[in-house]
Amino acid sequence: MMKVMFLVGACMVVLAATGVACDSGSGGSSASDTGGNRHGGADSVLDAAGGMDDQGTGPELVPSDDAAAPDLAAAELSPGEALVLDSSGDAPSTSDLESTEIVPDVPPADLPPDVPAEDVEPLDAGPAPFVLGSSDFEDGGTMKAPNVCSSYQDLGVSPELHWSGAPEGTLSFALTCVDPDGSNWVHWILWDLPGYNETIPGAFPAELESQEGVVQGINDFGDPGYGGPCPPPNGVHHYHFTLYALDVESLELPGGTTTFTQLSEAVESHVLAQAVLVGLYEKK
């Protein structure tokens, strides 16, 4: 109310000094009018001065340039990030945010010192596989003379065999060669080969027991040692050479009378690992 009276009074002073009417700017009467007209002039002055409007609401607040609100929309923040105003009260611009490195409030992890690549030890891939091979034929390859028979009187000589990856604790090896396509025809059985060996040379002597203690049994041809492939002309036969790594130095089986079945039963509870090499042969 005091503010209204002050504004009306100010208008009257201007009127008296200049002789110009106080125009409300919205169709109101001049200050020279009387009664209700003067009241209407006061309302006009209120409207012009930012007072109450016809609906009883307050004036629209327009911030000055000196007190501009920070442009929060321009500042794109990540979740959990705080907006920091600068000393002038303004928010940083988008370009300022892009050029400012935001360091998270997290202690740095203990990083190992730089280590030359040549000093880095490779990851342990575990033990190497137990693999059996031959210089006379590849796995799945064709067997040839002199490892095959030319007749029942010439059964050929044994191929060279070598292996790697025998498991730790191997004390001896046993070997079998069987043709499953020929009703499991036994071509070779051998055991008590010392565990430090990694090869059986080609043309291994056909004796029941060697000086190293290696023992051989009787094949299905009725002979000790190796008898090469000698199938009928009925297609390709597969010859499975199986090497067993055993945890005993000796199976204590006699040579000359031990059969394939007896050898298989003896090694069953002592096998640490086994490796297989397959040779193919077809009689033309």
Provide the CATH number for the domain around residue 278: 3.90.280.10
- 248 and 150 within one domain: yes
Identify residue 2 by its one-letter amino acid code: M
| Mean pLDDT of the 152-164 span | 95
Residues 29 and 142 in one domain: no
Is the per-residue pLDDT at 272 higher than 80? yes
Q: Match 């005091």 to its residue by tokens.
A: 2
- Where is the domain boundary, 14, 29, 48? 48
User: Does residue 240 form part of some domain?
Assistant: yes
pLDDT value of residue 151: 87
Confidence of residue 228 (pLDDT cuts 50, 70, 90): very high
If asked whether residues 39 and 138 sit together in one domain, one would say no
Establish if 271 belongs to a structural domain: yes
Q: Given this model, what pLDDT does residue 119 score?
A: 59
pLDDT band at 256 (very low <50, low <70, confident <90, very high): confident
In a domain, 244, yes or no: yes
pLDDT above 70 (res 212): yes
The pLDDT value recorded for residue 145 is 95
Say whether both 32 and 153 belong to one domain. Answer: no
Question: Between residues 4 and 262, which one has the greater pLDDT?
Answer: 262
Per-residue burial over 239-267, b if 16 or more Cβ lie within 10 Å, else e, is bbbbbbbbebeebebebeebebeebeebb
| Residue 89 scores a pLDDT above 80 | no
| CA-to-CA separations, 264 to 26, 177, 254, in angstroms, rounded | 118, 12, 14
pLDDT range class, residue 92, cuts 50, 70, 90? low
3-state secondary structure of 210: coil
Do 139 and 38 belong together in one domain?
no
Say yes or no: 161 and 34 in one domain.
Answer: no
Read off the pTM. Answer: 0.58
pLDDT at 182 over 60: yes
Mean of the per-residue pLDDT values for the chain? Answer: 74
Query: Which residue type does 66 have?
Result: D
- Per-residue confidence band for 167, with pLDDT thresholds at 50, 70 and 90: very high
Q: Which residue has the higher pLDDT, 59 or 141?
A: 141
- Show the domain range for 9: 2-48
Whether the pLDDT of residue 250 is over 80: the answer is yes
Let me know if residue 63 belongs to a domain: no
Average pLDDT over residues 136-150: 96
pLDDT surpasses 70 at 120: no
CB atoms within 10 A of CB 171: 16
Domain presence at residue 155 = yes
Render pLDDT for 10-52 as a digit per residue (tens, 0 to 9).
445 444 444 444 444 444 444 334 444 444 443 433 343 444 4
24 lies in a domain? yes
Does residue 234 sit within a domain?
yes
* pLDDT, mean of residues 158-187: 97
Give the model's pLDDT for residue 31: 38
Residue 4 has pLDDT above 70, yes or no: no
Specify the number of domains making up the chain.
Answer: 2
Cα→Cα distances 98→39, 87, 184, 250, Å: 59, 19, 78, 77
Min mean pLDDT across 40-49, 66-75, 92-101, 150-159 is at: 40-49
Among the residue ranges 40-44, 83-87, 196-200, 222-226, the one predicted with the least confidence is 40-44
Q: Is residue 239 part of a domain?
A: yes
> Which pLDDT score, from 0 to 100, does residue 149 have?
94
Residue 252 pLDDT > 80:
yes
In this structure, what token pair is assigned to residue 32? 């020279």
